[in-house]
Structure 1
Amino acid sequence: MLLSSINSRAKCSSILVNTTGSLESAQSHGKMKPALGLCLLLAGLSAVAHCDHLPGHHNGHDGHKDTVHEEHHANHAGEIMKCLKLVPSNADFAFRFYKQVVAASAKKNIFFSPVSISTAFAMLALGAKSATLTQIMEGLSFNLTEFEEKEIHDGFHHLIHMLNHPDSELQLDIGNALFLKEKLKPLEKFLSDVKNLYEAEAMTANFKNPAEAQKQINDYVEKKTHGKIVELVRDLDPETAMVVVSYVFFKGKWEKPFDPEHTTERDFFVDEETSIKVPMMHRLGRFDLHFDEELSCTVVRLNYNGSATAFFILPDKGKMKQLEDALWKETVSRWSNSLHLSSANLYIPKFSISAAYELKPILTKMGITDVFTDQADLSGITGAPELTVSRAVHKAVLKVDERGTEAAAATAIEIMPMSLPLVIEFSSPFLVLIFDRATNSTLFIGKINNPAEH
């Protein structure tokens, strides 16, 4: 969920309470300049996913129907190609961002949506100029000698369209909204671009009455995230000029669900000195597995119904840092190509976690600097370079449980070989990756250090 608020720099000398509960002093300095403060929040329910080959296409019938099918597939293929061009850059951004986060909070639970952050700042780039624009795009891992700005925005446009596929088996919603103060006059081109390229809704809000504006925005966010994100906005400044919201909501059902009756309390070893009891899901069956001897980790793929899939990665004792250092798109691709079907007794914790991040220090280290200072050039929003980003916050929610398709739960019977299956128990810190296979997009990245910590 991305939230951006533009405040008067004169009103910025205040104490900001971020979503992690810490206090941040926002001291204004230099010339008085309105500040665009971005707060990014994401809600997602799921596990991990990986990049996979695109689903194949089938030929249509003869005659007119065949022509219609061919045109449909041609358009669909065109959308996919525009999305796929973004994949390497989006993946690079995802893992660069992860490494920055883990460096600052190695022992904490980590969970975020790289596609949500990328989409939000790509949309912000519509209003950026000069060095500010270059830093945002390069910070998002786009090589501007290989990409034209229009290609990037077109790619995100088709990515949003494809991720919002109407699939009854998988609930995946991504969207954006602008809340504008009545007297703010954004350029028509900016409003047109955010609407046409990022499918953003635009509506007015009475920021002079902060309580009223907060309720309006919070009600909108709560509805769009199906009640999972509440009270996103707090302590709005009466001088706020615009709030930008970008949300991602994901809820998947396991292709082969876990039986709740098989969930039992088992030990989870947070570290060498600390163990806790957690509800551990269990299923005996055949799974896509891979043991990476080089990185000393076990990879398990669990598919959702629909186009999403999840990877759980369990490093051997003392090998987490080695795994994290090697976490790049090439590594995930190697895992994907090395999976094989094997019998296993699988134990995975049932948990619900959330994580929140102040993006400013993270993105500054990734090269996005000017947009947070008086050097910002966001003149593409109103025509004048007098806006700057004061704050950016990202929050994500993850829930993993036994749920699957009810019918599948009754029919998940597998033929097992006579030999004893492997026992794979996620009873120590592990990683979670969630991908959308149709677009090869990294929806979520997580690190579960303590499943009982909310």
Structure 2
Amino acid sequence: MLSLGLLPLPGPSASLNGILGSGFWTDPIIIVGDSIIQLKMSPSVFLLLLVAGLLPAARCDEVITTPAAPQDPAESLTPSYQFSVNMFDFALNLYRQLASDSNSTNIFFSPLSISSAFALLSLGARSATQTQILEGLGFNLTRISEAEIHKSFQDKVRSLTRADREFQLDMGSALFVDNKLKLLERFLEDAKNLYSSEAFSTDFNDPVAAEKQINDYVEKATHGKIMELVKDLDLQTLLVVVNFISLKVKWEKPFDEENTKEGDFFVDEKTTVRVPMMQRLGMYNFMYDRELSCHVVLMQYVGNASAYFVLPQQGKTKQVEDKLSKDRILNWLESLQRRSLNLVLPKFSISSTYQLEKILGKLGMTDVFSNKADLSGLTDQVHLKVSKAVHKAMLNVDEKGTEAAAATAVEVMPLSLPPTVVYNHPFLVIIFDKNTQTTLFMGKIVNPTAP
């Protein structure tokens, strides 16, 4: 859940009519966005994202690899390619900021959800505020224009939510607008056309009814996965924007529940926890990066979704985090080899919550959280700034699979004993969509028993 709150700048109080007449309004705007992702049949992901409140302002056997030399992307700099590159840069930058705050806690977030929510907000931003938002999201504005950014979001979402895909992903947004507030038509049209946003009239003078209207919409849009997203709405609320994502995918080759056994997971040198460990013997895309001292297994879902599970050698996690880059990821993809493997992976459920104001501020997104904010493209009735940005994500990983998935083609295994890779200490996970080259989630599992 991401929460953005707008605070008023110092200024004289006035009656409602006087404020409206002078172009100022003392009521807050709240933008709420949530995302849920259920990677069903392991892993399952439930992601709550973006509750944004805006208040008015007065203004083993190893496959060895070494990193390939970085490639000059000039030949491939289409807007779609540049968009994907910038999106992954943002994911890595955000990951490093989150990791620098704590190396002892789980990390899990959706760069797609966070970036799409702030990109939607940028439609109403102007001047330096808009530039900082887009550049803070990783976009190189000398190589991709604002129009190309929004068009790329539109294209990615349409591709990801096609009805004929082999997994189900629903994305959308809704504007709950107080009947006293008039949003600019240009913003409403762009929000609808580019981010599939709907608009609903809401009476925030009755916060109980407003909460029910919003929560009922979110519950229905997320298939019952998110309930009571908003509560304790301020009487001054003018706008709530809900941004939702709901994804369901299956393991291409699920684990057998009968093989799941309790085992040790070594959180650090002093902490060991017991956790159910899933096990599967099969053919995997696998490699060992000698320079970074880490195993990499590429797990496939039915359809075009895949996940990197990166297991650093104990004590080498920071080394992997520091050297992680898009070139490294591409090198892994090119170096993976199909081979037999006995894979042991923990079964777990975790959640992560982040206050993003300071984190995004370190990425250059400062004005939007200050009195310098220019969000005049949202409405001409009030000057706004973002005061709060909270992101909450939840990830469930288990061995479930359908009978059809479990009855896929027989794998031919070598007679020799295959190597075993056991994810029994902190590891990284990157979940992406191959067709759109979109990073959907990124995280680090430090303690699979942590709530």
Spell out, residue by residue over 1:160-211, the C-alpha distance to the aligned partner (whole angstroms, 9 max, x if none): 1111122463121221111110110011111011001111111122211222
Aligned counterpart in structure 2 of residue 261 of structure 1, from 237, 249, 258: 258
2:158 is matched with which residue?
161
Q: Which amino acid aligns with 1:45?
A: Q
The yes-or-no answer on 1:218 pairing with 2:215 is: yes
Aligned mates of 2:203, 2:160 — CA distance in 1: 32
Matches within 5 A, 1:37-436: 37-46=30-39, 82-167=79-164, 169-383=166-380, 386-411=383-408, 413-436=410-433
Change (3 A) 1:287 1:300: same
Aligned mates of 2:142, 2:163 — CA distance in 1: 36
Partner SS, residue 388 of structure 2: coil
Aligned mates of 1:175, 1:34 — CA distance in 2: 26
In terms of mean alpha carbon deviation, does 386-395 or 1-10 score higher? 1-10
Contact 2:309 2:427 (C-alpha < 8 Å) held by counterparts: yes
Change (3 A) 1:125 1:450: same
Contact 2:30 2:239 (C-alpha < 8 Å) held by counterparts: no
Unaligned ranges ≥5, structure 1: 11-30, 49-79
Contact 1:129 1:380 (C-alpha < 8 Å) held by counterparts: yes
Aligned-pair CA distance for 1:7:
6.9
Contact 2:25 2:382 (C-alpha < 8 Å) held by counterparts: no
Contact 1:178 1:203 (C-alpha < 8 Å) held by counterparts: yes
Partner SS, residue 205 of structure 2: coil
Contact 1:345 1:424 (C-alpha < 8 Å) held by counterparts: yes
Aligned-pair CA distance for 1:385:
6.1
Spell out, residue by residue over 1:29-77, the C-alpha distance to the aligned partner (whole angstroms, 9 max, x if none): xx986555555543223368xxxxxxxxxxxxxxxxxxxxxxxxxxxxx
Spell out, residue by residue over 1:320-368, the C-alpha distance to the aligned partner (whole angstroms, 9 max, x if none): 0001111221211111111001111100111111111111111111111
- Structure 1 stretches of at least 4 aligned residues deviating more than 4 Å after TM superposition: 1-10, 31-40
Partner SS, residue 277 of structure 2: strand
Identity over the aligned pairs, expressed in percent? 52
Aligned mates of 1:2, 1:390 — CA distance in 2: 11
Contact 2:9 2:371 (C-alpha < 8 Å) held by counterparts: no
Contact 1:9 1:35 (C-alpha < 8 Å) held by counterparts: no
Partner SS, residue 444 of structure 1: strand
Change (3 A) 1:167 1:258: farther
Aligned mates of 1:163, 1:410 — CA distance in 2: 27
- How much is the aligned-residue C-alpha RMSD, in angstroms? 2.1
Contact 2:30 2:238 (C-alpha < 8 Å) held by counterparts: no
Aligned-pair CA distance for 1:229:
2.1
Contact 1:115 1:442 (C-alpha < 8 Å) held by counterparts: yes
Contact 1:179 1:204 (C-alpha < 8 Å) held by counterparts: yes
Aligned-pair CA distance for 1:437:
0.8
Change (3 A) 1:238 1:189: same
Contact 1:42 1:397 (C-alpha < 8 Å) held by counterparts: no
Change (3 A) 1:113 1:302: same
2:48 is matched with which residue?
none
Q: How many residues align?
A: 403
Partner SS, residue 393 of structure 1: strand
Contact 1:132 1:377 (C-alpha < 8 Å) held by counterparts: yes
Q: Which amino acid aligns with 1:173?
A: D
Change (3 A) 1:83 1:223: farther
Q: Which amino acid aligns with 1:443?
A: L
